[in-house]
Amino acid sequence: MATAATLDAVVRAAGPQLGSLMERVEQRLTELTAGHGQLLAEHAGTTIAAGGKRLRPLLVLLAAGESAAPTDRLIRSAVAVELIHSASLVHDDVLDRAPVRRGRPTVFAAAGRTVATATGDLLFSRAFAELAASGEAADVRALSGASSALAAGELMQRADAWDVGVSLDRYLERCELKTGALFEAACRLGALATAGPDEALAAFGRRIGLAFQLLDDVLDVSGPASRTGKARGTDLLDGTVTLPLIIARERDPALAATDLRALATAEQAESICDRIAATGALSDAKERALAVVAEAKAGLPALPLRQQATLELVADGVVERYS
């Protein structure tokens, strides 16, 4: 995720209204996770409380523009995007049987598959209920499209599991589906709330989301665990082939022949990470992500100066998390 310092700088640069809007988003998120029985409320609330830096709802608000009135529609859109993001993480952890997320036990680890699945389902359903309350069909279509893309990307990742020969194009498509689509929806929803340039801002969000995922995959190989909240090579242990390995396998033939199913321990995965790093693949992967960020910034439409500056700050923050 972008660093906390970067996002604090965005809030300061955008003016006091943004901070007030983000507070309303947090309040609404807390309300929505508290009314569905003690067990679900506990785990849904814990998931939301551990939800990172709120980059996606921040993008909703920034895409709306600094002159945007703090309407219920805008707040609901920001809340719904974060709920979808949180739901997808809970479900991912069920599929991956992940013990830890952001340095904390996952819902799956703490309460089991049934409760974790129900928690993710609750968060998904509350997201669409929140948007439906605004009565804007375009908003529901935007978030529905992103949710479908998330599912399609997950299915693609499952289909590609353990395949060291997965193509670069297929990998990039998966990244756009699993990550870029929700960033795209966040920017589109903000623009729709204020009749802004939704197509151009959606394209900005899609590129930022792609760069975000590319760098996240670099971090999985480079670590350290103290920054990422998980051991190096976690993706490799799950059979997920990402950009660093795709680049490295062209330089180290032995990597192209690696049987990921044979990796049984964190130490073995870290050894593969070291071999990937030795090829120089991490630098090349980072350069590709930087190029995508540059494209995103160059493609921004004509916007008020402060709105333009804050969106560019977010784009730069995606890169800073690697530094």
DSSP per position, 230-291: S-TTHHHHTT---HHHHHHTTT-HHHHT--GGG--SHHHHHHHHHHHHHTTHHHHHHHHHHH
- Scored b (16 or more CB within 10 A) or e, 138-148 reads ebeebbeebbe
Q: What's the whole-number mean pLDDT along residues 203-218?
A: 96
Domain presence at residue 291: no
Chain length of the chain = 323
What is the rounded CA–CA span in Å between residue 55 and residue 246? Answer: 28
For residues 1 and 322, the answer to whether their CB atoms sit within 8 Å is: no
Domain presence at residue 22: yes
How much is the pLDDT for 68?
59
How much is the pLDDT for 96?
81
**Considering the chain, what percentage of its residues have pLDDT values greater than 90?**
61
CA dist 180 to 39, 186, 263, Å? Answer: 32, 10, 29
Structure-block tokens of residue 125: 């359903």
**Dihedral class, residue 301 (left if φ above 0, else alpha if ψ from -120 to 50, else beta):** beta
**Domain limits for position 23:** 4-208+303-316
How confident is the model over 276-315, as pLDDT tens digits? 999 999 999 999 999 999 999 999 998 998 899 999 999 9
Domain presence at residue 296: no
**Three-class SS of residue 302?**
coil
Query: 């910034």: which residue's tokens?
Result: 297
Domain presence at residue 12: yes
Domain presence at residue 242: no
- Position 1 pLDDT exceeds 80: no
What is the rounded CA–CA span in Å between residue 247 and residue 189? Answer: 35
How confident is the model over 232-246, as pLDDT tens digits? 899 999 999 999 999
Domain presence at residue 124: yes
How much is the pLDDT for 67?
63
How confident is the model over 243-282, as pLDDT tens digits? 999 999 999 999 999 999 999 999 999 999 999 999 999 9
**Three-class SS of residue 101?**
strand
CATH number at residue 187: 1.10.600.10
More confident site: 102 or 98: 98
Domain presence at residue 239: no
Structurally, how many domains does the chain consist of? 1
The pTM for the full model equals 0.91
Structure-block tokens of residue 322: 């690697």
Domain presence at residue 262: no
Query: 């969000």: which residue's tokens?
Result: 205
How much is the pLDDT for 8?
74
Name which of 21-30, 135-144, 233-242 the model is least confident about: 21-30
How confident is the model over 26-84, as pLDDT tens digits? 889 888 877 666 777 777 777 776 656 788 999 999 999 876 566 889 999 999 999 99
For residues 121 and 114, the answer to whether their CB atoms sit within 8 Å is: no
